[in-house]
Amino acid sequence: MRYFSNKRASSASYYDILMAKRAPHIIVAVTNDLATDQRVDRTCRALVEAGWEVLLVGRRLPHSPDLAPRSYDTRRMRLLFRRSALFYAEYNIRLFLLLLVSCADAFFSNDTDTLAACILASRLRRKALVFDAHELFPDVPELQGRPRVQAVWRWVERHSLPHVKVAFTVCQSVADEYRRRYGIAMTVVRNVPDRPPLAPRKRPVPDPSHPAPRTLLYQGAVNLGRGIRELVDVLGLLPECRLVVAGDGDVLAQESRRAAALPWHDRVEFLGRVQPDRLRDLTATADLGLCLLEDLGLNYRYSLPNRIADFANAGVPVLATDFPEIRRTLEEYRTGTLAEPLPCEKEGKAYEQYISRLAETIRETLRYWDTLPPDECRRRFERAGEELNWQHEKHFLLNAFRALPTP
């Protein structure tokens, strides 16, 4: 493999290496199976276009699909453990050994769970370290109520991030929080689609005499606090709608079993993991995109989910939770409606009242977009598409890489 050659760079910067006709090498690390991580794939392709040779390292699960050919190298490690502290320990040990013998010029850690191996190897090998925080990892919902585990990840960040040469994250709120915690400056590179903006589809005028089901689409991780239960329940009050859930996650099996027992189960469809090309086509068929979150800590509160941009580029309005980054984006581009956060309690009178309010909000949102003049609708989505795309965002990433020192 090209990364294990003994040829060394004789210059001190990225552009000097290019001038010497020797492409700089970088190893990019993630803990997923590489199949559907579009942000990391976009990042790797952008680096290849800029002259880097890239090796992307992840893991292979029993049911991981084969990867289509890419413009960069990939390696998926088969691990003995699939979850818990043993998984993270095994992954980081294996990754550290790989980095230790490689001849890469820089290491690229995606999220805190790859940081331990990358920082240790970069210090021992005196290599530049790049970090991309896709989220506030110690504050993810799965770690709420687990202070010891959170303390471990914060310890890793506290002892690693001051040594990072270049750092990125997905939105300004997360960048501000990392600056407050560790004094690190992060470049914001939003998680947006990499294909050119799509022209909004023409929506047929609803025919009251022949009503067709309105498609509500959730796409993304089917995890705690993402509103899957609420979206299934609200269909009981929306006989004119159907729900499509595209994604995999920790609560998929539980929520699909629960939905199957409800009287309106025939209007709920769980697709599981959907490949990116098929997902883009699916997104364009929706009447309303959904991005509802529970306030399960700073990670959710400060998030800017990539589906906000996915829906905008497909010309599909979105109903999204009124959190700071989401509000900032929807108020700027006017491509969706804000809703209250999901309730903490999932039963009782307060929950029933929330479901009633959500049903009315969905009806009002559909009605608003049905009656919005087509020219105004087109202007909004075209403006959003001009900026919420990877061709626009990748320049922020590449500008930071231009100053990256290499051996």
Whether residue 308 is contained in a domain is answered as yes
88 and 152 both lie in a single domain: yes
What are 79's two structure tokens? 């691990």
161 and 43 both lie in a single domain: yes
395 and 346 both lie in a single domain: no
Whether residue 208 is contained in a domain is answered as no
Amino acid at 18: L
350 and 397 both lie in a single domain: no
- What contacts 167, CB < 8 A, 6 or more positions away? 130, 131, 132, 133, 161, 178, 184, 185, 186, 187
pLDDT at position 332 is 95
- Residue 85 has a CB neighbour count (10 Å cut-off) of 10
15 and 150 both lie in a single domain: yes
Mean pLDDT by runs of 10 across the 407 residues of the chain is 44 52 89 92 95 96 91 95 92 97 95 97 95 93 89 96 94 95 95 64 54 90 92 96 94 94 95 88 94 91 92 95 95 96 92 96 96 95 92 93 71
pLDDT at position 212 is 79
pLDDT at position 224 is 87
**H helix intervals, 145-287:** 147-160, 172-182, 228-234, 252-260, 276-283
The secondary element (H helix, E strand) that includes residue 326 is: helix 324-333
Q: Which of 130, 160, 145 is nearest to 52 (CA)?
A: 130
250 and 368 both lie in a single domain: yes
pLDDT at position 340 is 95
The secondary element (H helix, E strand) that includes residue 312 is: helix 306-313
Whether residue 311 is contained in a domain is answered as yes
What's the total number of domains in the chain? Answer: 2
180 and 265 both lie in a single domain: no
318 and 244 both lie in a single domain: yes
Whether residue 222 is contained in a domain is answered as yes
130 and 30 both lie in a single domain: yes
What are 46's two structure tokens? 């952008």
**Residue 111, phi-psi category: left (phi > 0), alpha (psi -120 to 50), beta (remainder):** left
Q: Which residues form the domain of 188?
A: 8-194+391-401
279 and 328 both lie in a single domain: yes
Q: What is the C-alpha separation between 44 and 66, in angstroms, rounded?
A: 18
Q: Cα–Cα distances in Å, from 389 out to 42, 215, 362, 372, 392?
A: 11, 24, 27, 24, 6
pLDDT at position 142 is 82
pLDDT at position 144 is 84
pLDDT at position 174 is 95
Vertex 327 angle, CA 357 and 302, to 5°: 105
Q: What are the respective helix, strand and coil percentages of the chain, to the nearest 5? A: 45, 15, 35
pLDDT at position 141 is 82
Whether residue 328 is contained in a domain is answered as yes
Q: What is the C-alpha separation between 34 and 181, in angstroms, rounded?
A: 30
90 and 132 both lie in a single domain: yes
SS3 call for 56:
strand
pLDDT at position 202 is 45
Q: What is the C-alpha separation between 377 and 385, in angstroms, rounded?
A: 12
Q: How far apart are the first and last CA of the chain?
A: 20
Handedness of CA 161, 162, 166, 170 (dihedral sign): positive
Whether residue 206 is contained in a domain is answered as no
Whether residue 290 is contained in a domain is answered as yes
Whether residue 209 is contained in a domain is answered as no
What CATH number has the domain bearing residue 221? 3.40.50.2000
154 and 294 both lie in a single domain: no
pLDDT at position 14 is 56
